[in-house]
Structure 1
Amino acid sequence: MAALLFALAILLLALQVHAAESLQFHFYQNTCPQAELVVKNIMAEEFKRDPSIPAGLLRLHFHDCIIRGCDALVLLDSRGENVAEKEAPPNLSLRGFEVIDKIKVELEKTCRGVVSCADILALATRDGVSLSAGSSYRLPTGRRDGTVSTMSDVHIPGPSRPLGFVLNVVQAIGLNLDDLTTLLGAHAIGFCHCGFFIDRLYNFKGTGCADPDLDQSVFKFLTKKCPRPVTEIFNISKDPTVFMTPTSNTPFKLDSSFYRGLLNGEAVLQLDQGLAFTDVTQKLATKYVQQPNIFRREFSKAMIKLGNVGVLTGQQGQVRLNCRRVNRRKQ
């Protein structure tokens, strides 16, 4: 059985590598040459209106890629008796769907049925990183959109899971510990719902007490922002939020402040704080604090690697005309 599982893992990795190699820089150069510029311009408008939108898109992109690959299935609405991925509990707090819709509508005006929703999401996320003071990276395109989105497929580890458990999940899609540590640097920006960390404040691991690893000043700040009782995360519209980096004065800047915070016991999420307690991740976090330019460069590399996971290319899948629903007829 172990040999069979190993063989299947190798086959999956080979398929991912082949698909990733099918992506190309400037894939739309001849079919929709203005595609990347349209995405960039709309993202600039959206960022000016809401500087937290890059954080929302980063999470949306990650949740898409971690389930069956970067195929835009997380964007599909439920239809009939089928309950889509976006209705799964881990996805209820996702946002940024309207931004993707806006870009898609604009591109369909001049390039009908050409630019996939999967590429739009990847490109918009890339431009969000740049707008948040991260490095602007070259992103290969040519992804196609998936057609089957089912809530039961969504198995995303929550932020209270141990680091080792989450590592096993990301390793299954071809990422490693360095990738995970680097991608979690996205938590330098945006907001976090209280429901994701409330147990750390009032009932850590069922003790009825706070997490002893949480900095006391941050603990006091968070209890003011997230008093008892706290709404269940399933009703996110009523759940308060805090900045992901509560002690940072750059909550919309993708910098190394996240790592400085976790090394000081100031991380909001238990998963993030866990990075301070293994030699490999602690050393990498320290390196990113001391050399922030290295973090920016490695974050870009990790995002490109993430964006290559399980992509559909060539004649696989389809190019959806509306990112919220599957095409019912041939284009």
Structure 2
Amino acid sequence: MGDGARNGCPGAKGAKVPSRGHEKKIKLKMNYYHKTCPSVDTIVRTITWSKVKNNPTLGAKLLRIHYHDCFVRGCDASLLLDSSPNNTAEKSAPPNRALTGFEVIDEIKSRLEEKCPGIVSCADILTLAARDAVSYQFRRPMWEVFTGRKDGKVSLATEATARLPSASSNFTTLLNLFVDNGLDMTDLVALSGAHTIGVSRCAFVARRLYNFTGKGDADPSLDREYANSLRTICPNPINPSTILEMDPKSSLSFDSHYFEALNQNKGLFVSDAALLTNPRSAQIARTFENSGVFIDNFARSMVNMGAIGVLTNGEGEIRKNCRVVNV
């Protein structure tokens, strides 16, 4: 268990999400499928928790898929579409090529099509599965998921490349992307806390460790001892496939350790360190060292992110297969 669970934080208890960002939920509803597919939550959670039990890294993977989906065309499952001979889809864009976990969504969709054919959207399945995968360590939902999304029919790799921030993004770039999606600075800092789980590769920190200013030096904003430990894991010349944890304490436990490390100048990416370059976001990052405060705000921000650009009745479809649009 992470600190959040030990501290009995409200977020880990599945408390109702407070009012920040409530206006974004208008198109979505609680228990949207209560008449048409009342077992949807149970089916999604049972399959997701079974998968996470066998593969604890899955929480970070599904969370990342959800995030990458929502920031391009909104939360419409456009990222789940495969490329075709006539179209290069989001999934094939450079920022998305390393994503994994799609087979879990496929399995859930297949089961729901057996139980409630043509009812539950891939976009809602992804949103629920991401929540449940992260919540597994607490054995209860960390936040409420509002449902009623429809699936989009357009998926373009060029849009994904343009709309997703990189590990080297500065604060202005990060904040502008969040604001463009109707999110605020607190959402930016809270959702960056997702880096408390998951791993990356040496290729994404090579320049920061060995050639930050073009003179063979490390980023001076990076704690020297931490930089040296990263150099041990990622010696020069870099092996781009070598894996390293994003949270130096643990990549499997969802907790506030990311912010403890960040405030010690041990954020792995330039985009992490960027949060400390703005006085207000730096203050938010300090308050998020408290597990309960962080997880409550993370829950609110996940609800806000899950409402980005949602398609509802008349605007999309319910895909039969999450990888292809209906014929």
What TM-score does the superposition give when structure 1 sets the normalisation length?
Answer: 0.88
1:8 paired residue number: none
Helix, strand or coil for the counterpart of 2:26? Answer: helix
Structure 1 residue 135 displacement after superposition: 6.0
- 1:80 is aligned to 2:85: yes
- 1:210 is aligned to 2:215: no
2:17 paired residue number: none
Cα deviations by residue, 1:188-235 (Å, 9 ceiling, x for unpaired): 011112222211111114232111121222212212222233356xxx
List aligned pairs for 1:196-275, cutoff 5 A.
Answer: 196-230=204-238, 239-246=241-248, 248=249, 250-275=250-275
Inter-partner Cα distance in structure 2 for 1:96 and 1:257: 25
Contact between 1:73 and 1:148, CA under 8 Å: does it hold in 2? yes
1:300 paired residue number: 299
Aligned residues: 304
1:140 paired residue number: 146
Inter-partner Cα distance in structure 1 for 2:272 and 2:326: 39
Helix, strand or coil for the counterpart of 1:322? Answer: coil
Inter-partner Cα distance in structure 2 for 1:316 and 1:218: 49
Structure 1 residue 94 displacement after superposition: 1.4
1:97 paired residue number: 102
Helix, strand or coil for the counterpart of 1:242? Answer: strand
Residue 189 to residue 322, structure 1, CA distance change in 2 (3 Å) = same
1:67 paired residue number: 72
Inter-partner Cα distance in structure 1 for 2:33 and 2:278: 43
Higher mean alpha-carbon deviation, 82-91 vs 16-25, is at 16-25
Amino acid at match of 2:281: T
Inter-partner Cα distance in structure 1 for 2:232 and 2:156: 38
Residue 168 to residue 19, structure 1, CA distance change in 2 (3 Å) = closer
Q: 2:133 aligns with which of 128, 133, 136?
A: 128
Question: Structure 1: where are the runs of 5+ without partners?
Answer: 1-15, 233-238
Cα deviations by residue, 1:74-109 (Å, 9 ceiling, x for unpaired): 010001121001111111111211111111111111
- 1:107 is aligned to 2:112: yes
What TM-score does the superposition give when structure 2 sets the normalisation length?
Answer: 0.89
Contact between 1:20 and 1:311, CA under 8 Å: does it hold in 2? no
Question: Structure 2: where are the runs of 5+ without partners?
Answer: 1-20
Q: Name the Cα RMSD after superposition.
A: 1.8
Residue 19 to residue 115, structure 1, CA distance change in 2 (3 Å) = farther
Structure 1 residue 303 displacement after superposition: 0.1
> What percentage of residue pairs aligned between the two structures are identical?
40
Structure 1 residue 128 displacement after superposition: 1.8
Contact between 2:168 and 2:270, CA under 8 Å: does it hold in 1? yes
Contact between 2:191 and 2:298, CA under 8 Å: does it hold in 1? yes
Inter-partner Cα distance in structure 2 for 1:287 and 1:198: 30
Inter-partner Cα distance in structure 2 for 1:215 and 1:19: 39
Higher mean alpha-carbon deviation, 114-123 vs 213-222, is at 213-222
